[in-house]
Amino acid sequence: MTGFVSFVSSGPGDPDLLTVKAVKRLAEAEVVLFDDLSSGPILGLAAKGADLIAVGKRAGRPSPKQDHVSRLLVDHAITGLRVVRLKSGDCGMFGRLEEEIVALRAAGIGYEIIPGVTSASAAAAAAGIPLTRRLTARRVQFITGADVTGALPQGVNMAALSDPMATTVVYMGRRTFADLAARLIAEGLPPTTPALLAEAVSTPDQRLSRHTVAGLAAVLETATSTLPALIFYGPLAEFGDV
């Protein structure tokens, strides 16, 4: 009677960016556990009658604990149901995927991972920029700007993050970017390094704005927006039509 869990990447929010396999799994699901950023029109693709359960986490808001989310996955799948765990962006990118996989393995429940469009890729496309450039942006690095407490993570490699020849994308960094920028500049990154703020990518609320690293840090110190945001900095952040 053991069911099966499909970890489905929902992309950044636009249903048109879902993969064909993701749409198929949603149409077959009996239970869908979804992130906050995976709600809205994407849930309209779920099977009629499917049980839709919100388990998303947003900074500064009451959110379900991770062990509770993992327990829900196990409890539903163990009864023989087809479960979709709908995660925003690509489910393997800063989505606590491993913790949920560990819980399923411990319970002997099968699963699959369906990759999707990362928020970073969608934001770059929306801004009309590539993530890499021959000779001057030869490396891409994705980092999280917040640890489990919401603070800037400790022990990060500031030398790598200050590389002017890399494209760096900061997830969940709105609240901590001022602190990060100060450390980057102290490490030697020029304060005039181009930066891009991408908010609510691929949704009707999308906003894109160009800055310098120092300028964006100043803006975000007093900003009050609650839109989900990505921050790009590096040589390519000034390219494009924004």
Which tens digit of pLDDT belongs to each residue from 149-167?
A: 889 999 889 999 999 999 9
Write the pLDDT tens digit of every residue in 10-49: 999 999 999 999 999 999 999 999 998 887 899 999 999 9
Q: Which amino acid is at 237?
A: A
The pLDDT value given to residue 240:
62
Q: Which amino acid is at 240?
A: G
CA pair distance 86, 183, nearest whole angstrom: 35
Q: Which amino acid is at 108?
A: G
Is the Cβ–Cβ distance between 227 and 37 less than 8 Å?
A: no
Angle at 221 between CA 216 and CA 225, to 5 degrees: 85
Domain with CATH 3.30.950.10 in the chain: 119-238
Q: Which of 51, 57, 147, 179 is catalytic?
A: 57
Weakest-pLDDT range from 18-22, 184-188, 213-217, 233-237: 233-237
Q: Give this prediction's pTM.
A: 0.90
Structure tokens at 227: 């839109």
**DSSP letters spanning 84-116:** EEEESB-TTSSS-HHHHHHHHHHTT-EEEEE--
Residue 189: its H or E element: none
Residue 185 has pLDDT above 60, yes or no: yes
Is the Cβ–Cβ distance between 25 and 8 less than 8 Å?
A: yes
The domain defined by 119-238 folds into: 3.30.950
21 is catalytic: no
Domain with CATH 3.40.1010.10 in the chain: 4-114
Query: Which runs of consecutive H residues, i.e. helices, occur in 112-176?
Result: 119-127, 158-161
CA pair distance 81, 76, nearest whole angstrom: 6
Structure tokens at 221: 């110190």
- Determine whether 156 is exposed, middle or buried from the number of CB atoms within 10 Å of its CB (0-12, 13-18, 19+): middle
Residue 203 has pLDDT above 60, yes or no: yes
The pLDDT value given to residue 37:
82
Is CATH 3.40.1010.10 the right assignment for the domain spanning 4-114? yes
Q: Which of 14, 35, 90, 163 is catalytic?
A: 35
Is the Cβ–Cβ distance between 4 and 111 less than 8 Å?
A: yes
75 is catalytic: no
Is the Cβ–Cβ distance between 89 and 161 less than 8 Å?
A: no
The pLDDT value given to residue 61:
56
State the CB neighbour count (10 A cutoff) for residue 214. Answer: 19
Structure tokens at 45: 């693709």
Q: Which amino acid is at 175?
A: R
CA pair distance 8, 151, nearest whole angstrom: 28
